A and B are shown apart, each in its own frame.
Chain A
Amino acid sequence: MPEVAEWERVLLPDIEKNETEWLADYVRKGGYDVARKALDMEPEAIISEVKESGLRGRGGAGFPTGMKWGFLPKGAFPRYLAVNADESEPGTCKDRPLMEQRPHTLIEGIICSCLAIESEMAFIYIRGEYYNGAKILDRAVEEAYREGFLGSNIFGREGRKLDLVVHRGAGAYICGEETALLTSLEGYRGYPKLKPPFPAISGLYGKPTIINNVETIVNVPFILKNGADWFKKWVHERTTGLRLYSVSGHVKKPGVYELPPTVTLKELIHDYCGGMRNDHDLKFVIPGGSSVPWLKPDQIDVPMSHEGVAAAGSMLGSSAVMVCDHTVCPVWALANLSHFYKHESCGQCTPCREGSGWLYKIVRRIEAGDGQPGDLETLYSLAGEGTPGSGMISGKSICALGDAAAWPVGSAIKQFREEFEEHIQLGKCPYKERNISYWMAEGRFVNESFAGTPVP
């Protein structure tokens, strides 16, 4: 097992300390020097450096950032930058420490990015649950304004201006979808917009808008400071740079790990995270946030890059790894996730609104022991193979939430078909009694009414 210290950590070098780096500290360590440098760069130069670095969006879709910036129509102003800090994909918890610990790195990243896309106004859309993150950002933004890094004539440059607003969401997963984030920011229900037109053409208030994830933006000043080649030191196929992996679930040391894309899922779980909690067996892993297809233990020896995970039949997504041990009933886990998507569907379009509800009802029923023959066929036809475009939902909805609701279902059935069938045949969940004995043996709190792990 490689020592963690062997790895260079850039974004969150001191994550364990959990301290906020305020402006004075940040400036003392050379903070905002890159922003000063960027002020003298041509916007195209910044964009081409970022393009060259191969930086890809860290929110989930993995779209090349430089290319996204290049979509802005020439001469169309004002333009806006919206930083997606809605981090709502279950399993993902990497942007929260970034914002809480390094708010000024984010602000500097925003300044650099706005210089690249020639925007004079940026928003950080932070999810409502991150009270503390919002407070820290508010204070950091205030510091930056006071210091003249934000506002008009930034860094003393006549006519250069940038306003930054921290905008809090209020509990809606869908607002992490980039166009829903914009409608939410405009003061509406967080409904994804019909595309095209894409936000780079017509986004916030109908103006060209770029939406980037927090981690993506935080990487920008490092790339400008050290160069694209430095960033490409860490590379697996077309995935470059260090990346924050959120690991949760049944591992000994869950946490946020900053690692290169060459690290394998197996190393991540067994080496960095210390292996399975209570030395249980691994049942399945969800490698990229709750929306992506599941992987079985024999599929985890793959690099955690977009390409590596894709080769294993799943997606890197937001690089959030959810690890489930052998006490986790896959049917129950699926019901939990299906409930999530039913709850978080915005309800705007038919396939997602009705499909997510229907999926949940069926999975929940199977889990509760009321499964019927034919249920799996219905689920399959609804959710398809867990691949884009297959089934009745995926590819038919306004945004990708429909796909996200369908994929786990398709993949769970594909991976654990026998267990689904067993539920239907037995008319109950075979895990429940077994688990209670496990937990009692572990001295955990179990009461009469608590038979298993019911979904709310």
Chain B
Amino acid sequence: MAQVTKGPASGIGATIGYGTPAGKVDQALEGVPEDQILTLTLNGEEVKARRGETIMEVCHRQDTYVPHYCWHPGLSIAGNCRLCLVEVEKVPKPVIACQTQVSPGMVIKTASEQAKASQEWMMEFLLVNHPLDCPICDRGGECQLQRYSMEYGTSHSRMVDKKRKYIKPQADPLIDIERNRCIMCTRCVRFCDEVGGEHVMGVFARGNDNYIGTFGQGPVSNIFSGNVIDLCPVGCLTSKPFRFKARVWELKQTQTTCTQCSSGCKITSWTRNERLYRTTPPSRQRHDHFTINEDTEEFICNQGRFGSDFPWHDSRQHESMVRRADRLVPAPFDDAVAQASQSLRGVIEKHGGEAVAVLISPRATSEEGLLARKLARDAIGTWSVDWRVNQQSAEAADAVSAALKAADGDLESEPDVIIVVNGDIVHQSPVLALRVQELGRRFLKKIVMLGHHHDAYIADHSTLRFHNAPGQTAKVLELLGNVVSGSASVADLASVLSRAEEDVQELVDTIRTAQSGVVVQSLQDFNGRYASAEVPAGGALRAALGETWGWLPVVGERNAVGLNALDCEPGEHGIAARNLLTAISDGRIKGLVVLGADALQPLGNEELVTGALANLETFILADPFESEFSRHATVFFAQAAPQETDGSAFDIEGNVALVKSGVDLPGDARQGWLILNALGRLLAESGFDAGSVEDAWNQVRTELAPESAATLADLELEGSTNPAHFVVRKPQGGARNRASEYNPGNYRTDGLHVRSRSFEAPSVASAKAKDAAAANEGFLMTWGPHVSGRGYLQDRASIAEMLLPKPFLEVHPRDAAELGVKSNQFAVLHVNGRRAKVGIKISKGPAQGTVYMSSGVYGPFDAAENAGPVEVKIEPLDELVPDQGEALMTAEGATESH
């Protein structure tokens, strides 16, 4: 394993990473004006620092570790744990390093007698009420309290009195709260407020008896909530699914990337033998071992963290099978390959190669994609290979392909302005949305929201918001491009947006004065229904914006960028995935090869799909599970699940990363690239000679980055400084805007939240009761997919039901006022003659007159059944969504009586 730094070496976090490699010190001050640099003395050594930096930042850049609990580089400064007290000469009291800004000539001592005594005393205070039950604590082995006790504490406690005891709430299905162990650092509270997007966790009661929790013992309801587990420096917040399953030091850690969505987060798989125990952000080296870095800024979403254990579902199939008469019987892998090639050959000879189609899961690695394409084109002789199974139509799929090919934008360059077009990105590619939000929240970049539906999570930190009616987005984008390039007037755009001209002028000025920018355009709404119109419009806007801008179209599929770049698509000659069922029923397709049955499921309801499969002459399926689909297979290959596969994949910004299996495959299961390679070898004379995944990777690399000599192993190195790193992107015109620095002044320093509260709270005066039945009709409902929604793989996760989003209908605040509904109130939704009971959520997302629902949520409104936004009627019920909590809150506090 190559040297790994303790802090993040890439991405936004890199600017304040610590434990940095040599050269970082100079790098950090590079380009900083001379008058902004000052000199100070740190532990006897003269060092330079930027004006406005805190002592903590300087220390960490200088590799001087200052202990801390409440301070976290990605959160606002709370200054409450007082563990980072250090001595500053001429200051009578010790000061906290996390908040105190450096000044010229400052003499800082982090290990003087005064500093060490202060740190030791704070440790003693923190242990006064902390139970000494490490042997039964799930944090044992990776606990910062344990570690600091050894490094900064004393060996004995003088506390002889009874310790404080709290009632243990059962607040969240995923996160266990053990308040007795809490040290009140409030990292979790700040995380939920700042990164999670909603202040759902809080500090309750006061003083010595205060405690953390949620209102009414409700869940920690945000898609990033699992990160509070890693952020918690002690054993207070632990993972319910992982609790007591294993001690961390017994597990094998594998550095890989998540296979759930296009964010492609770096993760660590914690495994033993053939089982995954937990998924966390990347672990880092500390001294001689690897552990979760409690200062990590590489937050991951709950789907990635908790939803990745689907390979261990009961329906897992360990053996390959071949059809004997009416039954599938287990067969050795080689026999299965032989039988598959034989039956495919039969179809090809009878109907021609064109009668065979190859479908590939969008989660497939690039190696699998490349081999699938070669299998189709070179071995079988068909154009029909496709990964785009989620798009609404072949046209929409083509638009997505075109957009991905033309994409040239990323967030890593920290653009001045981010235009976010449409979409519920936080539920489609969560960490991408997090990074956009972070640019607004921490780096004070300007975020502009356009389209018929705004990502409510990002909108919290946006500067300008313009809604338009569904179907109008393409027009708005085009017009905006024209206004910026001078060929249309502000008035034109203002009239389309139904907004005042000065508002629109502000938008145009914001764009014109930006040094750099990126258009983040979601193509996922109604599964891309409007993509065919909006993609060209997005492209036109990007062209009008000029050299320093980039375009980042967003889809949620894991390896969309890689599979698109490798051309695993049918083009104009083949049959697109979306048309496959029709092509089977009208006899154009007689044979089908599917890598991952999750590629079949989105094509239609089960009856439709299995009906089509029954009509095939041959159906070769590689998949981890036994399912309705596998029953129709001619040959079934027990395949490795996505996270059991080795290879590479691209994130939505075009960065390549390693996917690495941490487990032993069960039974006779094989990785997908191996199955495709074996099959190809029997069908074609050459081209299928990959003896290892490294060989397959070399083929990918040769095709996408011929100048690179990187090995797959090289990809394990982090980030863009890695020579092996390459991006499938046209170079972006603008200079990389790396100068922007994290400024602690961006945060309120009092530990309170930093979010602008521009929420349009319903004015109580206007909260009139609904007057007539007409008020609740005529809403347009739009929807988009959800990363934790129903799905072939998602449903097989052990706690799928817990991750499944609740059926909430997002309603515009003014519409809610008109309807007389409030958040958490039930309503009956009438759509296409059907009725469903949903919860109301007042949200910034939908435009007035429209409502939004995650399509992953609710069967009757599945995108597969509805072609576009539909008119719905909302009938409020006089009933509230029950709180998940049980006991009266007052019973939650400290039980100790005075």
Contact = CB atoms under 8 A, between A and B. Distances in A.
Q: Do chains A and B touch in the complex (CB under 8 A)?
A: yes
A133 B293 CA distance: 53
Contact of B159 (A193, A197, A343, A358): A358
Contacts of B121: 351, 392, 396
Interface in A418-456: 455-456
Given A362-B161, A396-B85, A347 B93 contact: no
A193 B161 contact: no
A395 interface: yes
A347 B206 contact: yes
A172 interface: yes
Given A339-B898, A351-B82, A396-B93, A193 B749 contact: yes
Interface in B113-163: 118, 121-122, 124-126, 128-129, 158-162
A194 B207 contact: no
A378 B158 CA distance: 7
Contacts of B99: 194
A343 B85 contact: no
Given A189-B203, A349-B80, A395 B92 contact: yes
A350 B126 CA distance: 7
A214 interface: no
Nearest to A180: B750
Interface string A294-331: 00000000000000000000000000000000000000
A415 interface: no
Interface string B271-312: 000000000000000000000000000000000000000000
A357 B79 contact: no
Given A339-B898, A395-B93, A350 B750 contact: no
B81 interface: yes
A208 interface: no
A395 B752 CA distance: 23
Residue from A191, A350, A395 having most chain B Cβ neighbours under 10 A: A350
Residue from B92, B93, B126, B750 having most chain A Cβ neighbours under 10 A: B750
Interface string B749-774: 11110000000000000000000000
A188 B193 CA distance: 14
A107 B181 CA distance: 49
A271 interface: no
Contacts of B207: 342-347, 353, 356-357
A152 interface: no
B118 A183 contact: no
A73 interface: no
A389 B87 CA distance: 13
B80 A354 contact: no
A43 to B, nearest CB: 28
B208 interface: yes
Contact of A372 (B77, B160, B749, B751): B160
Interface string A147-185: 000000000000000000000000010000001000100
Nearest to A349: B80
Contact of A357 (B94, B118, B208, B752): B208
A357 B203 contact: no
Contacts of B96: 194
Contact of B752 (A191, A349, A389, A455): A191
A170 to B, nearest CB: 11
A365 interface: yes
B750 A183 contact: yes
A345 to B, nearest CB: 4
Contact of A365 (B92, B118, B161, B898): B161
Given A194-B99, A348-B80, A392 B206 contact: no
Contacts, number: 112
B722 interface: no
Interface string B72-84: 0000010111110
A188 B757 CA distance: 14
A261 B710 CA distance: 82
B184 interface: yes
Given A358-B159, A392-B124, A342 B203 contact: no
Given A194-B749, A356-B207, A357-B128, A350 B93 contact: no
A391 to B, nearest CB: 9
Contacts of A342: 207-208
A439 B400 CA distance: 89
Given A348-B80, A354-B126, A354-B208, A188 B752 contact: yes
A389 B125 contact: no
A63 to B, nearest CB: 17
A397 interface: yes
A456 B208 CA distance: 16
A396 B94 contact: yes
B210 interface: yes
Contacts of A358: 125, 128, 159, 161
A206 interface: yes
Contact of B128 (A191, A354, A455): A354
Contacts of B82: 349-351, 396-398
B125 A194 contact: no
Contact of A191 (B125, B158, B209, B751): B751
A348 B70 CA distance: 11
A91 interface: no
B231 interface: no
Given A355-B125, A378-B158, A456-B898, A350 B210 contact: no
Nearest to B122: A350
B164 interface: yes
B749 A350 contact: no
Given A193-B749, A395-B92, A346 B206 contact: yes
Contact of B125 (A346, A354, A361, A395): A354
B748 interface: yes
B106 to A, nearest CB: 14
Interface string A352-387: 011111101110010000001010001000000000
A339 B128 CA distance: 17
Interface in B724-770: 748-752
B88 to A, nearest CB: 13
Contact of B129 (A188, A339, A354): A354
Per CB-CB distance, the 4 closest pairs between chain A and chain B, nearest first, are A357-B208, A347-B210, A354-B125, A345-B207
Given A349-B81, A350-B183, 5 more contacts: A191-B750, A191-B751, A206-B748, A354-B129, A357-B207
Interface of A: 172, 179, 183, 188-189, 191, 193-194, 197, 206, 339, 342-351, 353-358, 360-362, 365, 372, 374, 378, 389, 392, 395-398, 455-456
10 contacts: A193-B750, A339-B898, A347-B184, A347-B208, A347-B210, A350-B82, A354-B125, A365-B161, A395-B94, A397-B82
